[in-house]
Amino acid sequence: MKSRTLCSVLLALAFAGWLPQISAASDNDDDYGGTSGFENSGITAIIWVRDEATGEMLPAPPGHVSEDPNQYNAFPQCQVDDGNLAIDCLANQRVCPPRADGKPGVPVVWKVAPRSVENPTWTDWQGNGGGPTCLYDRSPEDLLPRIAARIQREFDRLPVIPGTLTAQPSPHTLRGADTNFYAKAAEQPFDITILAQKIHITAKPVQYRWDYGDGSSLGPTTTTGGPLPQDRWGEKTRTSHAYAATGDFSVVLTTYFQGTYSVNGGPDLPIPNQGQFSSPAQTVSVWRSVTRNYADDCLTNPRGEGCPGSAG
C-alpha cells in the first residue's frame, strides 16, 4: 500500500513537470532558462541573484558581477541529500499554482553561502521566512515586461545633469532691452540594475523650456540658442527676452531628455515619456537706463554730472 502511494505521488509529480527538473539527465534543456534543471546535488545550474528592491530571487544575466557577498541556490523542498527525496515530505509539500501562462511552479527552499566559496556548505536562507517558495520556469527574457513597466520611474530618478543656462549680459541687464539666453546640454549614459538584469540607459537632450522669472516663458522648443559677441548684446534672438520691469528675476532652464534602454546588451528600446530636469535658478538683475543731455563733455567740464571728477 505504501509503494502504491509512492507511485501515485511520483506520477502526479511527473504530470506537474517536477521530475524532469530534479533529474540531471533530463532531456529538456529549456527548463529554467536553458539549463538542465536541478542537479543531483540539488543545486541549479543557473546563477541566482537577489533583487535589492523586491527581495526576489532572479536569474543573473550573462557576465553579471554581484556586489552581494552571498550566493544563493534553490533546492527541492523535499530533498534530503544526494538528490534523494523524503517520501513523507512529498505527500505534504507545498502546492504551487500554475502561472497565468500555464507553466507549473516548483516548491523549493532557498539556501545561502558565502560567494567566495566554490563548493560551500549551504544553509537555509531566512530572507523569506525560511519556508518553501514557488520557483517558476523563468529566464531573463521573461522579465522584459516587468522591466518595461519600471523603466520610466527609474529613468526619472537618474542623476541626469540638466542643461546649463547662460545670459548675456549677466548678471545685470537693462529694462526693455533683449537679454540673450542660451543652453548647453549633453547626451549621458547610465548603467543600472533592474530585477537583477543589466540595463544601459542613454539620455539625450531634445527640448528646452525657459522660465524667465517674470511670469513669461518659452518652450518647450528644440532651440538651444547660442552666444552673441559683446558688440551685439541687446539684439533679439530666438531665445532672448525683454523685461518690462526692473528687479531681480530667477531664470530656470528645464531640459527634456529622451531615453533609450537595452537589457543585457540587447537592442535599444524607447523609454515612453521624456524626463524633465531643471537647472538651478540663475538670478538676473534688471536695471533701468537713464538718458540725459549735457551742454559740454567731461573734457570741457571735468566736474560735470556723470564725470569722474563730479562730486555727485
The phi, psi pair for 156, rounded to 5°, reads: -65, -20
Between 27 and 190, residue with greater pLDDT: 190
Q: Is residue 255 over pLDDT 80?
A: yes
Cα–Cα dist 116/188, whole Å: 35
User: What distance in Å separates the CA atoms of residue 204 and residue 258, rounded to the nearest whole number?
Assistant: 5
Cell 545561502, residue?
112
Residues of the chain with CATH 2.60.40.10: 145-287
pLDDT of residue 190: 98
Of 220, 200, 198, 199, the residue nearest 208 (C-alpha)? 220
- The mean predicted confidence, pLDDT, of the chain is 78
DSSP strand pairing (282-287 vs 172-174): parallel
Is pLDDT at 306 greater than 50 in this prediction?
A: yes
For 176-185, what is each residue's pLDDT tens digit?
999 999 999 9
- Domain at 145-287, CATH homologous superfamily: Immunoglobulins (2.60.40.10)
Rg (C-alpha) for the chain, rounded Å, is 34
Mean pLDDT of 75-96: 78
At residue 253, the pLDDT reads 98
Q: What is the SS3 assignment for 202?
A: strand
- The confidence band for 11, taking pLDDT boundaries of 50, 70 and 90, is very low
Please report the pLDDT score of residue 46 as a whole number.
62
